[in-house]
Amino acid sequence: MFKIFFGGSFDPVHVGHLIVARDVFEDLKVEKIIFVPAFQSPLKEPHRATPKQRLVMLHMATKGEGCFDVSDIEIRRGGISYTVDTAQELLSHLGERPTFLVGADSILTLHMWKDPQRLTQIARFVIADRNKKAQEVKKYFKLNFPSLREERDFFILETRNIDVSSTEIRQRLKEGKSIKWLVPEDVQEYILEKGIYIREPPPA
């Protein structure tokens, strides 16, 4: 059995993240799914919640779930959270190739990530395919990373399409709308108590 690392901004974590993670856990019968919040995702605007707030929300969302864990590896490192740097650190710690859970849409941008050739040598990927993009992903790998082999370097797993996004949640809060059932109850209470996403961000 092995662990799968699930990276992202989680700004905020929502039920879609949790359901996909549980589906992967049950389908692949892995040891754990470990959520890895980025200090700053390289391909996104600055996050609205602080790294500490996003880490707290993840701990709240996964509390009591033995199949889930949370790592602050990227938050402790600070700066831009490049997956290749995290993979290298995990490789040194685990002594084996780490496995990352990535959405099909995200993996189709792999050529834009930092040092993608190096990353594919030291890490494996479980690709959550919620929009039936398996053939597109295979063609993409064949064209851009021809040495990668399915079932050895990457695994494509069809998952449910949970139509919830962090962007939608932030927008609903900005408009004064409810986010009930979109995030765990503890996370909703924390967001409202701290006023996260409700206030306009300060000017840069």
The predicted-structure confidence for 90-128, as pLDDT tens digits, reads as follows 999 999 999 999 999 999 999 999 999 999 999 999 999
- Residue 87 in domain: yes
- Residue 12 in domain: yes
Q: What does the pLDDT read at residue 198?
A: 86
Tokens 């962090």 belong to 166
pLDDT above 90 (res 78):
yes
Q: What does the pLDDT read at residue 200?
A: 60
Residue 199: band (very low, low, confident or very high) from pLDDT cuts 50, 70, 90? low
Is residue 90 within 8 A of residue 73, CB to CB? The reply is yes
Q: What is the mean pLDDT of the segment spanning 80-86? A: 97
Domain of residue 128: give its range.
3-162
pLDDT above 60 (res 2):
yes
- Residue 89 in domain: yes
- Residue 177 in domain: no
Task: List the CATH number of the domain containing 141.
Answer: 3.40.50.620
Is residue 53 within 8 A of residue 183, CB to CB? The reply is no
- Residue 174 in domain: no
Q: How many domains does the chain have?
A: 1
DSSP code for 146: T
Is residue 116 within 8 A of residue 145, CB to CB? The reply is yes
